[in-house]
Every structure is written in structure tokens, then in C-alpha cells.
Chains A and B, each alone.
Chain A
């Protein structure tokens, strides 16, 4: 996948046991609903777990950006197992290490730090999306 693409798939882990999972989910919504709604599509991880054909087809046809909340990297692993191509893997922890003042707390409801971290992460994802849409970034597995 080397040329420009029309759509980029965003797959967050939405992990339920840590605030980082909530950050992944919030960042995915920011990208797909606020920042690049026309160029991105959110694919629920649960559907990939179930092997949903429609979701697998979408993932197989477009480059994906995964956002994982912990080192187990469920989103990245599931996209790979579903036959998708990962253009970029994001780990919330890596972003947090660069923005130590934005400590996420709360799972059901993120604190202000978590919301800001999600915004920062979403902006980083957007850079990758723009690169894929314009064809200036390849879709190689990270």
C-alpha cells in the first residue's frame, strides 16, 4: 500500500481496566468525529474479535492506525490477525511519557489531564492520517 488512500481505519483498544484505555477511546472519537470525520472510520475492536466479515473487509481494504492503552497491544494484534495493514501503532503510554503533566485518571470519566492527553494523541494520529491520504506516508507495518 504505497499510494494515497481515501480512508484510514482507526482502531482503539478501549481497554476497560486502565485510564489509558479510555484515552485510546477518546482519542479515536476525536479523530473520527472532530478532526478528520471524512477521511477516517472507526472500527470497533469487538467486531474484529468476533471475526465480523464486514469489519474484516474494511480493515483489509484500508490502512489502519491502532491506538493501544497497554503493552498487550490488543488493537494492533487484532488488526494484524484480521488481515489488516497497520500504518502506525500508537501506544498511549508512549505519548504520556512525552507529556508527563497530562496524567490520565478515571476510567468511566477521564480527568482533564486524560482529556488533554487524548487531544494531543488525536492530533498525532491526524498527522499520520493526513500523510496516508495525501500519499506522503507509506502504509508499512510499524
Chain B
């Protein structure tokens, strides 16, 4: 049975090449992804929001995202918001350095000692934000709070990006409008593999699963249910379906 993607937090760094602070964003993101919270975080290259596909642009809608920027141009935060979704949190290195009275990072290719300290401080703050966001049930609309156990110490891994892998999406017509639903192909697959027929009880359950990943406007649940019923019935008619 295919699993729906585990709840994780997305990290998007500006990786700006022209400032040491850009290198700090990159190394801090990698420290979180590889050492501090490898099981709870994913990343994507910022340009993929433009250069990639619909699945890439769904990244910040699907994952609560932390943007890490080197300077007040805030390319990562603004770019993520423009093309994907509003970041759940945002850090600007130049502001963090000033707030904490840290030394100025120097060396774009190889950071000085102050730069390394800023990397550590930034990564620590991002890890705290990850923990906070994981304790909230990020339902892509309200962000309802759901307490979870304290994070475990995690084994280090090498970071991998979500570039090109994308979040599966599917367009369906609801009330005459085409709506892109995040994760719908995986949800359909999971329901079908569980032997659930396209009956009213299943459609109600399906609607609840869809709501986890997609905002459904007030008063439109019946229309969504009708469309999902139609689409799921068609999905179940495909080869390999459980009748």
C-alpha cells in the first residue's frame, strides 16, 4: 500500500552566492537536513518553483516551510510565497546576527569562525522551528494544534532534495471550475488498494483525507464530494481496480 508522505517540514534556503550570509543559509539548511532533523525535514531548490512543474510548486502548500535568507531581499521567503505558498516561518541571517550579537560571517567559499557560529545558531533555531511546526497539525488551511511526543535524537543522513519528485496532484472539475488537489492520486491509490468501493461511506472518508492536504471552501463540501465520487468511481474502473 503506498503511504501518503509523512508529515515533514520543508526547508528552503536562498543559497545566495554573492554574500557569506548566503553560504550560511545553505550550510545551516544542510545541517538541519542531514544532522539535526533528518527524519522530519525535506528541501527543494528555490528555482524549481519557477523551473519545475505543478508538483514542485505544491511544495510549500504541502509542507509547512521555513525560509532561510541571507539578506533583507528575502529571496527564499518572497520567492516561496510568490510561487508556492506562504512560508510558515522565516529567518534572515543578517537580522539573526544583529539580534544575537554574533560576529560577521566572512568568506563565501569557506566561512570564518564567526560564520560557522552563525551556521550553528541558525541551524539550532531552524530545528526549534521544525519541532514547533511538527507539533501543529498543519492542515494547509488553519494549522490546528496537535501535541506530539518530544522529537527523538535522529541518525545523520546525507540531504536529498525533492526537486523534480514533486507532490502528486490531480485536476478535477468542481462546480464547473478546475481545481488542483494535492496528493489526490496517492489517496485514490490507497483507498483502492484497501478495497474500498465508491460508495457514500467511502466518499465521506475520501473527503476527509482530501481535506488534510487541501483547503475546501466553506459550503462546498457537497460539491467536492460529488466530484470526488465521480472521479474515484472512474479511478476504480481502471485496470487492476477492486470492484
Contact = CB atoms under 8 A, between A and B. Distances in A.
Given A16-B45, A28-B17, A42-B18, A49 B79 contact: yes
18 contacts: A13-B45, A16-B13, A16-B29, A17-B162, A18-B161, A29-B108, A33-B109, A44-B18, A44-B22, A46-B15, A46-B46, A46-B79, A47-B16, A72-B51, A74-B45, A77-B50, A107-B30, A108-B26
Contacts of B60: none
Interface string B103-116: 00000110000000
Contact of A49 (B43, B49, B162): B49
Given A42-B17, A46-B15, A49-B75, A16 B159 contact: yes
A16 B15 CA distance: 8
Contact of B73 (A15, A50, A81): A50
A104 B14 CA distance: 22
B43 A16 contact: yes
A44 B23 CA distance: 12
B92 interface: no
B211 interface: no
Contacts of B52: 72, 74
A29 B46 CA distance: 20
Contacts of B158: 106-107
A29 B161 contact: no
B50 A78 contact: yes
Contact of B15 (A14, A33, A106): A14
A52 interface: yes
Size bracket of the B interface: 35 or more
Interface in A58-75: 70-75
Contacts of B76: 46
Contacts of A50: 73, 75, 78-79, 82
A52 B48 contact: no
Contacts of A29: 17, 108-109
Contacts of B58: none
B27 interface: yes
B74 to A, nearest CB: 9
Given A16-B29, A26-B109, 14 more contacts: A12-B17, A14-B17, A15-B163, A16-B45, A18-B160, A18-B161, A45-B15, A46-B14, A49-B83, A70-B164, A72-B45, A74-B47, A78-B47, A107-B159
B14 A17 contact: no
Interface of B: 13-18, 22, 26-27, 29-31, 34, 43-52, 73, 75-76, 78-79, 82-83, 108-109, 158-164
B50 A49 contact: yes
A114 interface: no
Interface string A20-47: 0100011011000100000000101111
B43 A77 contact: no
A103 to B, nearest CB: 14
Contacts of A72: 45, 48, 51-52, 163-164
Contact of B17 (A17, A25, A49, A108): A25
Contacts of A81: 50-51
B26 A14 contact: yes
A32 to B, nearest CB: 9
A3 to B, nearest CB: 28
B47 A47 contact: no
A16 B26 contact: yes
Contacts of B43: 16-17
A46 B50 contact: no
